[in-house]
Chains A and B, each alone.
Chain A
Amino acid sequence: MSLLELHGLKKTYGPVTALAGVDLSVASGSRTAIVGPSGCGKTTLLRLIAGFETPDSGSIMLDDKPLANGAGAVPAHLRGIGLVAQDGALFPHLSIAENIGFGLGRHAAGRNERITELAYTVGLDSALLKRRPHQLSGGQQQRVALARALAMRPRLMLLDEPFSALDTGLRASMRKAVAELLETAGIATVLVTHDQAEALSFADQVAVMREGSFSQVGTPRELYLKPRDRMVAEFLGEALVLPAMIVDGFAETTLGRLPLDGSGERPALARVMLRPEQVMLEIRPATEAADPQAGALYGEVVESEFAGATSTVAVRLINSPDSPEAAAIANTPLVLRKSGIEAPAVGEIVRIRTIGTAHVLAAG
């Protein structure tokens, strides 16, 4: 069942359009990530849901009750939506315990027990409760911010790039911990981030945002493997985008004849996408390329840059199938990121194979 429903949300600041009509549906207990480059309007969207700003038009429904409808809006403090901001926004003048208990009544029964319980839930040592925010590390501050928001028992939690201030290692473990915690508590989550890996690994629904509207909304797998257009494809990871002729449900490209995913109407000329991990390189003796097997594709390694776990390898095609654009394309080397151990050296001849299917991108 859908907990949060956004319909046609629009917001402008003077001449700048921050949101140009956004629709989104968030199921209860689910995790949604909104990902996009900075300035795409994702933070504005979050602030509209939280109630810090009102939309120019469109509606926000929580549990089938309107939070904002045109000009009328429920103020932020009456919405009961949790929020964890980028760097925690802890109250510097209050202790950790007072921070966590901020939203609870000051004389509420069982207040102290509840604070201790919340600290335990988010994995905070109870010895920290007496400290001040500036005495805590970045990760601990985020845990306090989460506990403080959880104290209100919200059904929806908004996370505004809460992990971006943390170290790389801590970031991944915090993300996992937060995801598990919110799932256990049955709280639906909307995460805003500019980090695509974070969005893909955190959410069950990802929305890619650009210039105030969603380019595509779907599951992480769907978005990664079947992006609608080139922007979405490249935003979510490295992509090989190839011009292709579509013939009988196959794509004729410089990398040969590739099977396509899905079905349906397709233009005769299109661009298709492969993820670099779909391209396999196999080192072969130079003589084999001089006398290629039928249908086999060979290339020469022109660059190989070692960078620890991965190496970036550039391969120039030797015998590309004769397609109209091939002559021009063949001179542009194929750039792939490969495991550092098996990366071929410069000058080696490789046989190129592809696995899986190619995906046809919409024009534009």
Chain B
Amino acid sequence: MGYSTGSYARSDLGATLLTGRRARRRPVSWMAVAAVVVSLFALLPLGFVIFSAFQAGWPTVVELVFRPRVGELLTNTIFLMLLTVPLTAVLATALAWLTERSDLPGVRIWSWLAVAPLAVPAFVHSYAWVTLIPGMHGLFAGVFISVIAYFPFLYLPISAALRRLDPALEDAASSLGLSPARVFLRVVLPQLRLALCGGGLLVALHLLAEYGLYGFIRFDTFTTAIIDQFQSTFNGAAANMLAGVLVSCCLVLLTMEMLIRGQERYARVGSGAARQQPRIRLGRMTLPCLVLPLVVALVSLGVPILTVGRWLIAGGADVWRLDEIGLALGQTLVLALLGGLVATVAAIPMAWISIRAPGWLQRILEGTNYVAGSLPGVVVALALVTVAIRVVPPLYQTLFTIVVAYGLMFLPRALISLRASIAQAPVELERAAGNLGRPPLRALWATTIRLSAPGAAAGMALSALGIMNELTATQMLAPNGTRTLAMAFWNYSGEIDYAAAAPYAAIMVAMSLPLTWLLYVQSKKMAGR
């Protein structure tokens, strides 16, 4: 996503040269140093993968990578992606079209219900289905649950893009003799390309990184295999090599997305504001069209609510072991808040530079961050485990290490919110404050920091949401005795004590809902409504 705020920053640099040379240059260069340090840290997992390949030596790499097991995992992963991503794209586009462009009754509710499944952690989706239909496992179960769990990642950008489309283009196309269906194919769909590519990449990366969802239905992916390997042989070369293949898969995805996305421009050409989109009358098709969002809502929200509710009832009051739950809740909150804070603070230098001083440094840092941010949690965790054990053993399984891991994993989330809100605090305000007699740091405090505080808070909240439902890295890195909500849920359901697991699932969903609402509201705002 490109934020074109270059003009602010360029004039900022110009002003630096002209006025207040000493006072203004210092923050930028300190920020640059900080951003470089953060980026180097972010590259740690990638460096670890390369380093461990070198250390193992070529024969070992060949032996560990080119074996039937890896081929099997690769086949699983490729099929999972080839089926899930297109299905998700079709489902998300259909839902987005219905909620944005048709006169379906209750569109606001349907559009919220299409985002709400994000509040249910992927492994809770899996739990819900497995306990409902115990026989579910394998590729098709994986595809089915993945589509349900991840379609909002595509729904959000597609519906935002649909809302921003200029209706005049569609009018022009139909005045040139194109039927409505062909207008959709030749004018609307091409303009959704960026949203489809970005959302599709996000879904694909989640498919690579997710552990719990596939653990439940006994579907092996690289991530589940790495964790199995890690749990049985701890820190072996085999796990490291699998991580190497997993990272390669990520890089292939990033490259593919970049190639498909292309360099085209999709923004509206011309001046003035676009007219509001007219909604298409469904008429007699209204009832059949209602079936789709209804079924999706039932499957993606109804089933988890039903199953969790059923187990809660079956478990009665006994499953609410309040001391245990309270401890898990407290630990989760501490970890989530600390991790969110670290991610946000770590994102500040990069966000600042990308808005106020874009240039070659910022492009390199952004590229780095883009790649590092797409690495699965399991790779980050594996890298930190290795580094901690080999370089600073006292740090292994400490609060410090797990919080650093969270910071690395969720930095991109914090960065997006921060960058958008710093962009909304134009440097002119800072200068005006300076002009009115505030010294530079106080001017900065009174304008930019004040104005970007909501964005920082949103970024922190979104990171904290991710951490709260994080399972993979937490399992591998958390200090002994840590038991977060996700871990407790995982352990109980691993012991087939579904009733005892239910309260944890309910709490995770309940705590995620407000943040999901925030995400929904933000996406509406970004599209200008």
Contact = CB atoms under 8 A, between A and B. Distances in A.
Contact of A141 (B176, B180, B269): B269
A53 B174 CA distance: 12
B50 interface: no
B271 A87 contact: yes
Contact of B173 (A75, A80, A102, A134): A102
A174 to B, nearest CB: 15
B270 A88 contact: yes
A163 to B, nearest CB: 13
Contact of A93 (B174, B177, B266, B271): B266
Given A83-B171, A86-B272, A92-B191, A77 B267 contact: no
A209 to B, nearest CB: 19
Given A80-B177, A103-B176, A85 B171 contact: yes
B178 interface: yes
B270 A82 contact: no
A261 to B, nearest CB: 41
Given A82-B175, A152-B176, A92 B268 contact: yes
Contacts of B191: 92-93
Contacts of A91: 169, 172-173, 187, 190
B175 A90 contact: no
B269 A133 contact: yes
Nearest to B166: A89
A124 to B, nearest CB: 16
B264 interface: yes
Contacts of A50: 171, 175
Contact of B171 (A52, A87, A90): A52
Interface in A128-148: 132-134, 138, 141, 145, 148
Contact of B172 (A47, A80, A85): A85
A67 B267 CA distance: 34
A52 B269 contact: no
B15 interface: no
Given A134-B267, A138-B270, A89 B176 contact: no
A138 B272 CA distance: 12
Interface string A86-120: 11111111000000001100000000000000000
B271 A52 contact: no
B265 A132 contact: yes
A191 interface: no
B4 interface: no
Contacts of A345: none
A92 B161 CA distance: 14
B270 A149 contact: no
Question: Chain A binding site: helix, strand, loop or mixed by DSSP?
Answer: loop
Interface string B276-298: 00100000000000000000000
A215 to B, nearest CB: 26
A88 B269 contact: yes
Contacts of B37: none
A93 B265 CA distance: 6
A149 B264 CA distance: 24
Contact of B177 (A87, A88, A89, A152): A152
A316 B173 CA distance: 58
Given A51-B175, A77-B178, A158-B175, 4 more contacts: A77-B175, A77-B183, A83-B175, A148-B176
28 contacts: A77-B174, A77-B175, A77-B176, A77-B177, A77-B178, A77-B180, A79-B175, A83-B175, A85-B172, A87-B168, A89-B168, A89-B169, A89-B171, A89-B172, A90-B269, A91-B169, A91-B173, A91-B190, A92-B191, A92-B269, A93-B190, A93-B264, A103-B176, A133-B269, A141-B270, A149-B176, A152-B176, A165-B272
A76 interface: yes
A56 B365 CA distance: 59
Interface residues of B, number: 29
Q: Which 10 A-B pairs have the closest CB atoms?
A: A87-B270, A103-B176, A89-B168, A83-B175, A76-B174, A89-B172, A77-B174, A133-B269, A93-B190, A85-B168
A322 B272 CA distance: 54
A81 interface: yes
A141 B270 CA distance: 9
Interface string B180-200: 100100110011010000000
B101 to A, nearest CB: 14
A81 B268 CA distance: 24
Q: How large is the interface on A (under 10, 10 to 19, 20 to 34, 35 or more residues)?
A: 35 or more
Contacts of B178: 77, 103
A77 B270 contact: no
Nearest to B182: A77
A148 B175 CA distance: 10
A57 B172 CA distance: 25
A91 B187 CA distance: 7
A103 B177 contact: yes
Contacts of B180: 75, 77
A81 B186 CA distance: 20
A172 B517 CA distance: 51
Contacts of B179: 75, 77
A103 B270 CA distance: 21
Contacts of A79: 175
Nearest to B263: A132
A27 B312 CA distance: 76
Interface in B130-174: 166, 168-169, 171-174
Contacts of A75: 174, 179-180
A85 to B, nearest CB: 5
Contacts of B187: 91
Interface string A294-319: 00000000000000000000000000
A50 B176 CA distance: 11
Contacts of A148: 172, 176
Nearest to A103: B176
Contact of B175 (A53, A92, A93, A149): A149
Contacts of B190: 91, 93
Contacts of B271: 87, 138, 165
Interface string B113-139: 000000000000000000000000000
Contacts of A151: 176
A81 B177 CA distance: 9
Contact of A83 (B172, B186, B266): B172
B171 A76 contact: yes
A46 to B, nearest CB: 10
In this complex, the member of B186, B190, B191, B269 whose beta carbon has the largest number of chain A beta carbons within 10 angstroms is: B269
Nearest to B168: A89
A93 B268 CA distance: 10
Contacts of B272: 86-87, 165
Nearest to A47: B171
Given A89-B168, A89-B169, A52 B270 contact: no
Nearest to A151: B176
B175 A81 contact: yes
B269 A87 contact: yes
A71 to B, nearest CB: 12
A207 B269 CA distance: 31
Contact of B265 (A53, A102, A134, A149): A134
Contacts of B166: 89
A80 B190 CA distance: 24
A134 B179 CA distance: 26
Nearest to B193: A93
A82 B168 CA distance: 13
B267 to A, nearest CB: 7
A149 B172 CA distance: 9
A86 B268 contact: no
B188 to A, nearest CB: 11
